[in-house]
């Protein structure tokens, strides 16, 4: 059965083909950069024969999942895939069991412990040399604390929470596929998402990305499915908008950008009405955080207290996009004062070094979007360290899957297009370029693109198979067509 384009696709913008071509060129360029980067990554981490075997096993599973875009494997097939997906997740658990991360996963666990003990949301941050109360957004720590009250904070408990969030995200990917008239492609993309290496590497760690993607997908649903300005539409847009801002503040603008992408279909008057009522709902969701921060700081802190520090991490002479130690002169300052001082340093450097800013911006984007080593870097930094040779085993899967995502995404955008999906991907790229790149910007910040590119790839598989069938179909003689 062929999925029929729904009404929202028939009314989509005529500019979609140009956007698809631009995105295809962008992802093709990033795929080439991934190829160019491979020798350097191999020199740093090594490549083991076992890694090539692991990559081949994963490619077989991914190919099976992608093929479900054009055929129904039945209940037995899906049950077998579920077993494989669970096995991959358990394997990811073995990588972190008995090890402690020095980064965000450690601090999220600490925040959850403080909440559970009734001490509130705070950390004694050694990098800033002070106690901080609003460095991390609250949504994921609160969820983690609530979950840990039931299941604990063991790696198994964290993996279970991540798996539940990833399953919810997969269901939303499948639902988004149905909304754009590509139900089978949606199911295939959901299956791919559940076994995608970057998702698997995150699963056993206390990371907010799983919750972030749920909020982004819910927000996409809210805008794509919006037809009327009413309280239901306001909730479907405002609730995930508030949740997203309280999970990943750097993505807060996505609520408005998704709306602008859908505005040509909705009409500008309807878009303005939805944006206004959705903003009121989002403000209501965020109000407790604002009130709490006002009582602590006697200042309005809408998102987090470290915006200036994040800007400095992204814009300074030694910046790479990844986190780096703060200047010694800032350590020990009060929380807000430290961030403001760092922000002034970053802005001063940007004003006086425009060429350096331009070069750094391009370099950060290429490294963050075209390389797949973040998971390995994070695992290598854990204590105790990884067994010798394990990084060489993981590199082909980590970097190879990112190349596949970029290359297949570039091709799929030209093979079979859905204007609504193209608009969503364009919006995410704009968000990353405008609101992401000036700040701390590493590989994990690009993950928001993954579910949407997987949906595009599944659509591309459908288009490619339809082309093959047409080529193989016997030609009908012209006289037979006339007699018919």
Average pLDDT of the segment spanning 443-454: 95
Give the Cα separation of 69 and 245 in Å (integer): 33
Q: Is the model's pLDDT at 230 over the cut of 70?
A: yes
Angstrom distances, CA of residue 181 to CA of 87, 124, 419: 32, 50, 11
What is the reported pLDDT for 265? 86
E strand residue ranges, 14-167: 123-125, 130-132
What is the reported pLDDT for 202? 93
- Band of pLDDT at residue 102, cut at 50, 70 and 90: confident
Angle between helices 450-472 and 209-224 (to 10 degrees): 60
- Band of pLDDT at residue 479, cut at 50, 70 and 90: low
- Band of pLDDT at residue 16, cut at 50, 70 and 90: low
- Band of pLDDT at residue 483, cut at 50, 70 and 90: very low
- Band of pLDDT at residue 5, cut at 50, 70 and 90: very low
Nearest alpha carbon to residue 241 among 297, 281, 210: 281
- Band of pLDDT at residue 6, cut at 50, 70 and 90: low
123 backbone dihedrals φ, ψ, rounded to 5°: -145, 150
Residues 283-320: tens digit of each pLDDT: 999 999 999 999 999 999 999 999 999 999 999 999 99
Count Cα atoms within 13 angstroms, Cβ side, for 386. Answer: 20
- Band of pLDDT at residue 228, cut at 50, 70 and 90: confident
Average pLDDT of the segment spanning 118-133: 92
Q: Is the model's pLDDT at 11 over the cut of 80?
A: no
Average pLDDT of the segment spanning 138-146: 96
Average pLDDT of the segment spanning 63-70: 93
What is the reported pLDDT for 120? 92
Of the listed ranges 153-167, 189-203, 386-400, 421-435, the one predicted with least confidence: 386-400
Q: Is the model's pLDDT at 482 over the cut of 70?
A: no
Residues 338-362: tens digit of each pLDDT: 999 999 999 999 999 999 999 999 9
What is the reported pLDDT for 216? 97
What is the reported pLDDT for 93? 94
Give the Cα separation of 114 and 447 in Å (integer): 28
Q: Is the model's pLDDT at 465 over the cut of 90?
A: no
Count Cα atoms within 13 angstroms, Cβ side, for 223. Answer: 29
CB 383, CB 347: distance < 8 Å: no
Angle between helices 209-224 and 419-431 (to 10 degrees): 130
* Domain ranges (residues) in the chain: 7-469
Two tokens, residue 12:
């989509």
Residues 380-411: tens digit of each pLDDT: 888 888 777 899 999 999 999 999 999 999 99
Q: Is the model's pLDDT at 140 over the cut of 90?
A: yes
What is the reported pLDDT for 475? 54
């910007």: which residue's tokens?
441
Average pLDDT of the segment spanning 57-75: 93
Give the Cα separation of 404 and 35 in Å (integer): 11
Cα 16 to the chain's mean position, in Å? 23
Residues 188-208: tens digit of each pLDDT: 999 999 999 999 999 999 999
What is the reported pLDDT for 284? 96
- Band of pLDDT at residue 10, cut at 50, 70 and 90: very low
What is the reported pLDDT for 34? 96
Q: What percent of the chain has pLDDT over 90?
A: 77
């Amino acid at each position: 059965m062929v999925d029929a384009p729904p009404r929202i696709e028939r009314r989509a913008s005529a500019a979609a083909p140009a956007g698809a071509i631009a995105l295809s060129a962008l992802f093709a360029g990033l795929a080439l950069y991934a190829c160019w980067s491979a020798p350097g990554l191999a020199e740093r981490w090594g490549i083991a024969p076992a890694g090539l075997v692991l990559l081949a096993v994963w490619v077989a599973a991914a190919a099976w999942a992608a093929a479900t875009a054009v055929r129904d494997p039945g209940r037995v097939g899906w049950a077998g895939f579920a077993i494989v997906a669970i096995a991959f997740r358990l394997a990811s658990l073995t990588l972190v069991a008995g090890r402690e991360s020095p980064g965000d996963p450690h601090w999220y666990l600490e925040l959850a412990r403080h909440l559970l003990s009734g001490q509130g949301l705070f950390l004694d941050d050694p990098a800033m040399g002070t106690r901080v109360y609003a460095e991390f957004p609250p949504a994921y720590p609160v969820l983690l604390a609530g979950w840990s009250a039931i299941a604990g904070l063991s790696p198994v408990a964290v993996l279970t929470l991540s798996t539940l969030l990833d399953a919810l995200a997969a269901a939303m990917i499948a639902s988004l596929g149905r909304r754009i008239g590509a139900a089978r492609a949606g199911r295939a993309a959901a299956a791919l998402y559940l076994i995608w290496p970057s998702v698997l590497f995150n699963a056993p760690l206390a990371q907010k990305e799983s919750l972030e993607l749920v909020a982004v997908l819910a927000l996409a649903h809210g805008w794509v499915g919006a037809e009327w300005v009413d309280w239901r539409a306001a909730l479907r847009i405002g609730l995930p908008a508030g949740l997203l801002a309280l999970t990943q503040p750097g993505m807060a603008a996505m609520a408005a950008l998704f709306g602008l992408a859908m505005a040509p279909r909705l009409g500008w008057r309807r878009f303005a009405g939805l944006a206004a009522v959705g903003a009121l709902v989002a403000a209501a969701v965020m109000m407790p955080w604002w009130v709490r921060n006002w009582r602590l700081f006697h200042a309005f802190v809408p998102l987090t207290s470290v915006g200036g520090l994040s800007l400095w991490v992204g814009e300074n002479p030694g910046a790479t996009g990844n986190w780096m130690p703060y200047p010694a002169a800032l350590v020990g300052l009060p929380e807000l004062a430290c961030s403001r001082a760092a922000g002034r340093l970053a802005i001063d450097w940007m004003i006086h070094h425009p060429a350096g800013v331009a070069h750094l911006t391009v370099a950060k984007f290429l490294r963050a979007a075209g390389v797949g080593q973040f998971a390995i870097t994070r695992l290598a930094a854990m204590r105790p360290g990884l067994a010798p040779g394990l990084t060489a085993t993981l590199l082909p899967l980590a970097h190879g899957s990112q190349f596949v995502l970029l290359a297949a995404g570039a091709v799929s955008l030209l093979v079979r297009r859905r204007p609504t999906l193209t608009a969503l991907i364009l919006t995410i790229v704009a968000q990353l370029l405008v609101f992401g790149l000036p700040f701390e910007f590493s590989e994990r910040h690009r993950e928001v693109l993954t579910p949407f590119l997987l949906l595009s790839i599944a659509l591309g598989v459908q288009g490619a198979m339809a082309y093959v069938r047409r080529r193989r179909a016997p030609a009908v003689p012209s006289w037979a067509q006339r007699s018919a």
